[in-house]
């Protein structure tokens, strides 16, 4: 894992915000930009460009960390906690950017802090979830972790999500949490364009794995 000690820092005036999305009523973004650099293109990057916050793809791919995120959270949790059902990480960046340890570490601290006040978090990432999240006594067990998988083809991933984690690494990390964890996990399989994908044996295995995990998730939901 790469620790980027030179990562640029920014300060924000606020962190938690009401999202207006039904599955996660609050959100937060503790980084500006995303090193995954998806080329679909990325909606968050387009919005930031439109607002004049960033100008180039290179700038978007060079994330800046919100250095006062924990400080803001400390002030904002008492203000909003009675209103919050879920906090979403993140609508405009990725909380576990691949090989960006500094961002991932801050995400862990944020989740831990939210959980201390029994505030649940929903994370979605194209990175690799750290094993540490399986510590139920630290992170609680009601969080939800998901991975967006647009295609199971690695060549597709390399072309369209050039700096995100390889698909197998994402699935492996989710499986690790799944096996040890009682929280909800999920894969969001979102095909975005049609193209003929020739699957290798390993990729077919990955699909089968995905199907099994999805099935288990359904069974779990029905058991509740
Ligand atoms: S992972 Fe999400 S936020 Fe990051 S570049 Fe890709 S689409 Fe954008």
pLDDT in tens, the chain (224 residues): 555 768 999 999 999 999 988 878 999 999 999 999 998 889 999 999 999 999 999 999 999 999 999 999 999 999 999 999 999 999 999 999 999 999 999 999 999 999 999 999 999 999 999 999 998 888 876 899 998 888 889 999 999 999 999 999 999 999 898 887 655 666 565 655 544 444 445 544 554 555 566 566 656 655 65
Architecture per CATH, 9-223: Alpha-Beta Horseshoe (3.80)
Index of the ligand 1 atom closest to the CA of residue 90: 3
Q: How far apart are CA 205 and CA 59, in angstroms?
A: 37
Determine the Cα–Cα distance for residues 96 and 166; give it in Å rounded to an integer: 13
Mutate to test the pocket of ligand 1, among 43, 60, 93 (most ligand atoms within 8 A of CB): 93
- Nearest protein Cα to ligand 1, atom 6: 38
Q: What is the pLDDT of residue 41?
A: 81
CA 147 to ligand 1 centroid distance, Å: 12
Domain definitions of the chain by residue range: 9-223
Task: Identify the pLDDT of residue 203.
Answer: 44
CA of 93 to the centre of ligand 1 (A): 6
- pLDDT for residue 16: 97
Q: Alpha carbon of 169 to those of 34, 54, 105, 110, 125: distances in Å? A: 19, 30, 18, 23, 12
CA distance 72 to 17: 12
Q: Give every CB contact of residue 171 below 8 A, 6+ residues apart in sequence.
A: 147, 149, 187, 206, 209, 210, 213
Nearest atom in ligand 1 to the alpha carbon of residue 164 is 1
- Residue closest by Cα to atom 3 of ligand 1: 93
Residue 20 CA, ligand 1 centroid: distance in Å: 20
- The whole-number pLDDT of residue 207 equals 46
Q: What is the pLDDT of residue 136?
A: 82
DSSP for the chain reads ----TT--EE--S---EEEEETTEEEE---EES-TT--TTT-HHHHHHHHTTS--SHHHHTS-EEETTHHHHHHHHHHHHTTT-SEEEE-SSS-TT-TT-HHHHHHHHHHHHHHHHTT-EEEEEESS---GGGG-HHHH-S--EEEEEES-S-HHHHHHHSTTSPPHHHHHHHHHHHHHH--SEEEEEE---S----PPPHHHHHHHHHHHHHHHHHHHHHHH-
């Amino acid at each position: 894992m790469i620790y980027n000690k030179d990562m640029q820092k920014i300060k924000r005036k606020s962190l938690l915000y009401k999202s207006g999305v039904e599955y996660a009523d609050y959100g937060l973004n503790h980084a500006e930009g995303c090193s995954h650099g998806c080329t679909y293109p990325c909606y968050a990057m387009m919005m930031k460009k439109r607002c004049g916050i960033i100008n180039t793809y290179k700038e978007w791919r060079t994330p800046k960390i919100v250095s006062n995120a924990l400080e803001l959270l400390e002030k904002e949790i008492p203000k909003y906690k009675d209103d919050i059902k879920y906090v979403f990480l993140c609508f405009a960046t990725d909380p576990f950017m691949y090989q960006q340890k500094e961002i991932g570490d801050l995400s862990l601290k944020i989740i831990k802090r939210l959980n201390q006040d029994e505030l649940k978090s929903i994370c979605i990432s194209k990175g690799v979830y750290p094993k540490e999240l399986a510590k139920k006594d630290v992170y609680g067990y009601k969080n939800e972790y998901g991975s967006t998988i647009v295609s199971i083809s690695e060549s597709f991933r390399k072309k369209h999500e050039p700096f995100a984690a390889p698909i197998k690494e994402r699935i492996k990390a989710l499986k690790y949490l799944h096996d040890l964890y009682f929280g909800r996990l999920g894969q969001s399989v979102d095909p975005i364009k049609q193209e003929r994908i020739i699957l290798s044996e390993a990729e077919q295995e990955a699909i089968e794995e995905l199907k099994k995990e999805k099935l288990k998730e359904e069974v779990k939901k029905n058991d509740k």
